[in-house]
A = this chain, B = another copy of it.
Amino acid sequence: MTETDSPIDHVARLIAQRRRETPHIPLEGMEILARARRLDRMSRIWIDAVFKKHKLEAGEFDVLASLQRSGPPYSLRPTELYRSLMITSGGLTDRINRLTRKELVRRSVGEIDARSLLVQLTPLGLQTIRAAFEDDMRAESELLGALNPEEQRALSALLAKLLLSLERRPEAPGYEEAQEAAPAS
């Protein structure tokens, strides 16, 4: 195997099969996007097990992690949340309702705009996401063990370059929001 040849993973077998059926169609798209999709789905098998240990669904974890990331007082507006999570506003309402029932978040009064209530972590929510996030990152690092640090850096840099180009497309939903949300860092 040379430096640029890919190992024979599941997607490589699918591509080889398809080349015989539709040899006239270039398959570069599959090489990357099908693998990104499969990497997400496969890694979820182990990551979901981590969430389960903390009695969380993946979608609930994402909301709690966003709130923790924002720092004290651990509160965000629903619109910020659903745009960042790439789900609809209706979907987020459901997640918040579930997390409220579990007493991991509450809707607190927003000072700025009376149309929206801030979503805020409860002390139990903060404690839960602290433990769950640390476990999650440990599991994720472990899943990436097949790549050395240099390969990991190369991979994340290529993914970031590709993602940035998609985020900058005029037709990309949420583009304006992503821009103005850019922190000084």
List the interface of chain A (C-beta within 8 A of B): 4-14, 16-18, 20-22, 25-33, 35-43, 45-47, 68-71, 84, 86, 130, 133-134, 136-137, 139-141, 143-147, 150-167, 171-173, 178, 181-183, 185
Contacts and interface: CB of A to CB of B under 8 A. Distances in A.
A132 to B, nearest CB: 11
Contacts of A162: 39, 144, 146-147, 155
A40 B45 contact: no
Copies of this chain present in the complex amount to 2
Contacts of A20: 71, 185
B159 A21 contact: no
A25 B172 contact: no
A185 B23 CA distance: 15
B155 A159 contact: yes
8 contacts: A6-B157, A7-B164, A20-B185, A26-B137, A30-B140, A33-B140, A155-B162, A158-B158
A137 B30 contact: yes
